[in-house]
Chains A and B, each alone.
Chain A
Amino acid sequence: MPDSATGPRRPPAPAPGPPGRPLLDVRDLRVTFPAHRSRVRPVRGVDLTLAAGECLAIVGESGSGKSVTVRSLLGLAGPRARVEAERMDLDGEDLLSMSARRLRQVRGGSIGLVLQDALVSLDPLRPVRAEIAEALRNHRVVAGRDVPGRVVDLLDQAGVPEPEVRARQYPHELSGGLRQRALIAAAMAAEPPILVADEPTTALDVTTQARLLASLAGRKSAGTALLLVSHDLAVVAGIADRVAVMYQGLIVEQGPAADLLSTPAHPYTRLLLAAVPSAANRGLPLAPPTTAAATPQPTGGCVFAPRCPQVTDRCLEQRPTAVPVGPGRSARCWYAEPARPTAPAAPARSLPVQARPVQATAPILTASGLTKSFPGPDGSARRAVDDVSFELRPAEILGVVGESGSGKTTVANLILALLAPDSGTVLLDGEAWSRRPEPQRRPLRRRIQLVPQDPLGSFDPRYTVARIVGEAVPERGDQRRRRVAALLDRVGLAAGLLDRRPAQLSGGERQRVAVARALAPEPAVLVCDEPVSALDVSVQAQILDLFDGLRRDLGTAMLFVSHDLGVVQHLSDRVMVMRAGRVVEAGDADEVFEHPGHPYTQDLLAALPRLRPGRVDLAKDGGARRDTTGYARTTGEPLP
């Protein structure tokens, strides 16, 4: 025990300080990492405060510096990080000048940290109880012989069923939701007054996510201050008292959650809110039109200027300071003004409902009675897909939605004829597709193309963009290059990317290249397998706009597989809800989402986090049973 010298004394847990003084008070936090010949500056001056029993949510896209910010509070930003701040106080005590021993007492004792993806955040070689016991022993919460009992109590408090059994299990034997709860139990073992949760629900299915958020909300009402980090505004909307939006190492806007979400003041906040797909903005673009890249002065200028639709010369020259925009609100923008979000400043592309595919046209793709089993770990067959049938017509988008393990990706692979069904058939243009021998199918494969979840993995790492897309193009030589450039243009990429390698592209650019390759053989059907799940919400918005445009301009039909109901609702004409290999409900998208018939669909919709706490009507709440925290069903454990 490294702390044995401190004796049985427990670290003085900072009791909620005198009224007015926040538990956490951070001014001008800066974190830099040494990098090759320069320095990376993930955090460039963050101010934040957290009062007892309050929930502050830090929201930002990847690379915004939100994780580094909260980790540096615990001195865990990394061994090479340089952390500076004008002030970084924990209940009046300076965190930066703390001794190593005192810092260890603070970790877990005053601030508990929960990381995302508990599969790797819990030591896979140790049973769950060992992790919780470690926290108890580090902080001498109870006497040694009482530790095992306390571990079970903590798991029980965290909402883990059968805590005695679970305590003895290893992380890989638990579901994602239970792992996350175990991690929370370990972080809360010494009852710290502050709990920091970094993307706690990111890897979870939507129903599990809802229950976990409810459990966090319970901690909050029990008096724990929550510092929640997320990329998803909707996730924090129901639980946060205040929201801080981060962009490139700065908090660009912060304020009370309800105000900030209903009347955002910063253009970036507005962009994020508009980018959230839903039925309400179906047929409307989610992303603003790309402006000519404006580069701010290296010495100053607004960090958001290159992407801002309202950028002016002043934004390029002077960095805006945080200005108050309302009670308890501030924003870093020269033109900050709270306003109701409107559709992005582009002419709304109208897609009249009447223009949707006429049901009378013959289907391109017909799947009937598809069944596929895989051998399970114990040797017995497990049905991944069970009696799935559907039709797909030209220019139609069929959304396939379901949680992990529902068999939706297997359906995609069956349609692509990468797997052969055990029974059932797929017909393409009314002719045999799944039953055809591969050599005969090969010339027809261009009719059905794939947009993968992980575009980077789907590119040969040695190839340039020109070769990746060129492989799918019949032309040769100069003609091929021209054709590839035209395809890139179609997906909104400059021809300058032709000679780049995939590793040099951003996530959004990669997905566009993957779409360009899929379009090259002029397919009738695109199978999109979770094509936006790895993307930031603003990039996701651009890619979703691209898909909608392709369907409209080229008449391409799409089988759109996603776990995200909002995405499917936004894009699809018809929808198929899958669970454990079976289609539990199918039909017109509006119909299914507004009047879900199957209890499982109702549960999924109820669990979907809603934006704008005051405006539940945004997504019609058919069957949504909301409690006061904004989340349904706070008890019970994951559905199998």
Chain B
Amino acid sequence: MTVSRRLAKPFLRALGVLLGAETVTFAAYHLLPGDPAEVSLGVPNPSAELVATTRHEMGLDRPLAVQYVVFLGRLLRGDLGTSYQLHEPVTRVLREQVWATVTLAVAALAIAFAVSVPLAVATAGRRPAMRGLSSGGELLLTSSPSFWIGILLLSLFSFRLGWFPVISGTSVRGLVLPAVTLAVSIIGVLTQVLRDGLERALDEPFTVSARARGTGETMVRLRHGLRHALIPLLTVSGWILGALLGGTVVVETVFSRQGLGRIAATAITSRDLPTVTGVVLVSALVFCVLNLVIDVLYRVVDPRLRTATA
């Protein structure tokens, strides 16, 4: 079977999921207790006439089914409407903000891996004391909300020590604390999953075979163990992505940083629905695409899956 045909099924499924996600946001849009027209006007107590005109302009007086089709049609053309709050097309807002968030997420992921992989390799199945210390630390990290960690880092490094700016802006220096905060929120789980996968692999007979061939302990871990540990890592990668995307909302708010997350947070408090819808759809899209990539990565890592579906 060709690669394209093998990918067709998950791809179609992702499309279906996206359509479902759009329908959910559309439903959310129209289930809102307040009238979207009133919200979009942004003036207290508008006249009934003004509301009626706005409703007509926004197409809210048409049947729901028609509105749904119009909504989908606009989505297909890449039109997400106009932000109530910023009075700008949502697509432009998203385009302007997306890179700040991507930079943050990628930096955080890089930091997390740089910490987790060596930590897992060094502590897997070794000295109970070190291992216990490490897993205790991981439990503490996973149990602390990332906004609190952000506040603590901000308080210490920006206010007390003055090493990093309080408002992070777009500079590289400003990226450090937000990226560390976001990384900390996933390091705990990442290390646990990697170490667990390693320990499982090191328990398997094939590592005994490898050692019996005269392979050294470090090479056994890197060559045989780590690759097996990637499989459970892929299984939780969806969660990690979600944690990164959701985490940007928190981290960008704590550090007053530009980005999709901060836009989403303010849009929710001010009930700027087109913007919320836009952010949610973009995240869902990213999520689906990355899940497809993960599907492919599974096959790259595990040859058993390649023949199973071929």
Give the segment of A106-114, A362-370, A474-482 that binds chain B: A106-114
Give the segment of A134-142, A145-153, A269-277, A317-325 that binds chain B: A134-142
Kindly state the separation between the CA atoms of A138 and B219 in the bound complex, as whole angstroms. 11
A120 close to B (CB within 8 Å): yes
Kindly state the separation between the CA atoms of A120 and B201 in the bound complex, as whole angstroms. 10
A187 touches B213 (CB 8 A): yes
A186 close to B (CB within 8 Å): yes
B interface, by DSSP: helix, strand, loop or mixed?
Answer: helix
Give the segment of B19-27, B163-171, B202-210, B258-266 that binds chain A: B202-210
B303 close to A (CB within 8 Å): yes
Q: Which of A116-143 contact B (CB under 8 A)?
A: 117, 120-127, 131, 134-135, 138-139
B206 to A: closest C-beta gap in Å: 4
A115 close to B (CB within 8 Å): yes
Kindly state the separation between the CA atoms of A310 and B25 in the bound complex, as whole angstroms. 81
* Size bin of chain A's contact surface: 35 or more
Give the segment of A40-48, A71-79, A426-434, A528-536 that binds chain B: A71-79
A189 close to B (CB within 8 Å): yes
In the complex, which residues of chain B have a beta carbon less than 8 angstroms from the beta carbon of A117?
205
Kindly state the separation between the CA atoms of A486 and B265 in the bound complex, as whole angstroms. 71
B211 touches A76 (CB 8 A): yes
Per-position 1/0 for B213-234, Cβ under 8 A of A: 1111011000110011000000
B214 touches A186 (CB 8 A): no
With CB as the reference atom, state the residue of chain B lying closest to A136.
Answer: B213
A131 touches B209 (CB 8 A): yes
B216 touches A107 (CB 8 A): no
B216 touches A183 (CB 8 A): no
B161 close to A (CB within 8 Å): no
In the complex, which residues of chain A have a beta carbon less than 8 angstroms from the beta carbon of B269?
none
A588 close to B (CB within 8 Å): no
Given A120-B205, A120-B206, check contact A108 B304 (CB 8 Å).
no
B41 close to A (CB within 8 Å): no
A383 close to B (CB within 8 Å): no
B143 close to A (CB within 8 Å): no
B290 close to A (CB within 8 Å): no
In the complex, which residues of chain A have a beta carbon less than 8 angstroms from the beta carbon of B204?
120
Given A76-B212, A115-B208, A120-B205, check contact A2 B302 (CB 8 Å).
no
Number of interface residues of B (CB under 8 A): 25
B213 touches A107 (CB 8 A): yes
A192 to B: closest C-beta gap in Å: 10
With CB as the reference atom, state the residue of chain B lying closest to A104.
Answer: B214
In the complex, which residues of chain A have a beta carbon less than 8 angstroms from the beta carbon of B3?
none
A377 touches B308 (CB 8 A): yes
B2 close to A (CB within 8 Å): no
In the complex, which residues of chain A have a beta carbon less than 8 angstroms from the beta carbon of B215?
2, 104, 134, 138
A105 close to B (CB within 8 Å): yes
B301 close to A (CB within 8 Å): yes
30 pairs from A and B in contact (CB 8 Å cutoff): A1-B219, A2-B219, A3-B216, A76-B208, A79-B125, A104-B214, A104-B215, A107-B211, A107-B213, A108-B213, A109-B214, A113-B209, A113-B212, A115-B212, A120-B204, A121-B205, A122-B206, A122-B209, A125-B301, A125-B302, A126-B224, A126-B227, A134-B213, A134-B223, A135-B213, A138-B214, A172-B307, A183-B209, A189-B213, A377-B308
